[in-house]
Structure 1
């Protein structure tokens, strides 16, 4: 079955960048449809804590209606500045000298950031988009003509519109067709993400100084020959369990461990196949030598929420490509980066708002040309190169990323 509307923006992916773009288009009365490969809204976990900083905030303010911006603010977690000395040794639970883990990129600006739960923020951005959102739609490929683009889905259906936007993450099938040789790298680092509910038992057992704000962890690997670094942050929602139609999570500690693949006790192939339970077991194994006041973070983890991922990144050089008038990209689909500094989500939001603005300034999709897309993509590359580079610098200081020339190229 094929559906046609040559004025419609077709968005592949219902992540935060794609939804931000959709909200901006809706705000300016521009037709769009969103296609998400997941079978339903809550098909899988959507992540944990995010920090929305200056250019992410400005992008959301452009994209969102007053009502949805207010909902975003109301559902944000408390932003707790970190206490001095929250660089901790995992073996002594004592503060390390400043700079022991290095630092991330410089601050994004003077605007107070928002701390949000990713799933909650996604629910906010989904508000009012139900009629334009289609689940179970995985992109197979697309075809273009002078007048439009047709997206073909793996279920045999298709949609035709004015512009296709690949907002579908690191493994974007849209980018795979548009830029099949674009340079992505395996940093050689593997990440364990987890979530630990802040229960009464947890508060009694866990180091009090690490229960507020962010703490950086340093583990020299003395117990398991696996040097690792980590981050944790308390995410708290004092506004209650619900805000309007949004259900907020219980308070939790968000935690991350980063280590080189060669320091893991199992093969890399096995690591990248771990499910939630096996990832939880790996976290327990890797922290067996931690101090008793820090181990509760792992011992009391929500075992359904732990995951293991490859830390990949676009090559920071981000070479130019030839634009086409009917297809473009945003977010991780084109500039996946190390998580250091939290610039990934903010850059995706910036992409979404900028693309929407350029469509609006052109007078709608009927006036979008190759020159419009070229201007958007030039701006995207110029902006993203800076933040990918800063993320690499921060990752090198904090996590010991390998030099670029030692990283393996990825085909994704």
Structure 2
């Protein structure tokens, strides 16, 4: 993964770790709060073992002692690229909570873990005090309630977050137990809560992270003096915290092909053409498709300002006809024109498509590539029901599908006057 994560309510500007399976980013929330986020790469998200570890660690973090150390503000384990966000509190160990589960995920890669730990140390992340570790370790006993989501395991799999033997975490202080003295191992104090204070927490996108934490604290019955002090007391976050903050289009109708329409380039649908109307993607327009479409809404990108959609005529892995769409809301036409450069950079990078550079008029640009595959891209500004939008389209077709590509892009242009 190479692009900056785009998650509603957060802005990330510094990548602290770039690993084949995951990245860690530092940024801020819309209120200015410093945060760090762990985002799986495509390779990490494709590995069922990695996803399972994140899921298990999330539930442990939500239910076991240690979750009060630093609030977990947002997470999404069902996204194409799962992520989790925690607050970065000066003098607290919240940022370190990202490291321990990552350590296990990347196979005890000491160099990578130490590198990002050194980065986080610049921003105030500190180990949990030894006395707090001992208190938390005493609290972290298996729960008798069989309805609990997770109970600590025994044997080799107990270190869910840290992997085998914990050797990659270094030797920076000891717990003082007899077994540790006999083995000669010296571990950082905060290592003992790695398994029960993992960073990634999510049960449903319909519950806020603050509400989940508050409910867990209420239910487990732990004495407040046995846990580390609460860094902040967050109020519940709005339900759509993980959803794009974009106006929801409504009242969209399809305008059938008409005689004499001159398209952007090439051929267009003729009146009475046999087409399938794509009208269920949540876009501010509908458009015609020459065959039964296969919509892939779970595109590998999440953004607080851009809607991403994809439509193909067969399995997306070997589709002959592939249409990828990006839509961004603007305040007015001038705002769209001002946003166009950044919008084109974002969506063409996400889709690995050429930028539209040839001007058709004052609010339409397109580019053609003969291929193979044949490619036609377009950026266009339009208004619908009082709301201005920028739409980006990247359509490709294998040999024989060139005219189908032209008809689709021309129809989108016709539906967005």
What is the TM-score with the length of structure 2 in the denominator? 0.22
Greater relative contact order: 1 or 2 (C-alpha under 8 angstroms, separation 6 or more)? 1
Quick check: which has more Rg, 1 or 2? 2
